[in-house]
Amino acid sequence: MTDFRDIFSERSAAVQIEVKDKGAALAAAVDVLCRDGKVLDAGKLHDEVIRREALASTGIGHGAALPHVLCDEVSSLMFAALTLKQGVDFKAEDGQKVDLVFLVAGPRGETASHLKLLSKLARLLHDQDFRDSLRAASDAASLASLIYGRE
């Protein structure tokens, strides 16, 4: 498994983002992921994320969502992490609104590493203490540090 520091940076973290709905949360996640300068086409990435979300909700429960996509708009595996000011409906199976969003993007053909990262993040996001810590993060640096600490 790749180290988080190789695929995630403080620039790809944001806290207390204000959005009204799932579409705005996904758009914000794409915008945050693009801050690292590694996304080739933000508009196409956004379209791919929306298309993937239409297949099935990526709300994984406990107020967390893990949208993900394999696409041509990124050249390497990466992710963004956001906390939302208020939860939004992601149609998660547990019915809880989502206020933690981790967007994973990887190039087509890298399914194995993509799935390993999704699995690792899903396990982390099912940890109540970790979720509470993420929600309490005061800035992007704090959020990134919490994630790095779970390497």
Residues that are catalytic:
68
How many CB atoms are closer than 10 A to CB 64?
24
Calculate the CA dihedral of residues 6, 132, 121, 8 and round it to 10 degrees. -20
How many CB atoms are closer than 10 A to CB 95?
9
Q: Which residue has the tokens 């990262």?
A: 117
Q: What is the DSSP letter of 59?
A: E
Phi, psi dihedral angles at 25 (to 5 degrees): -65, -40
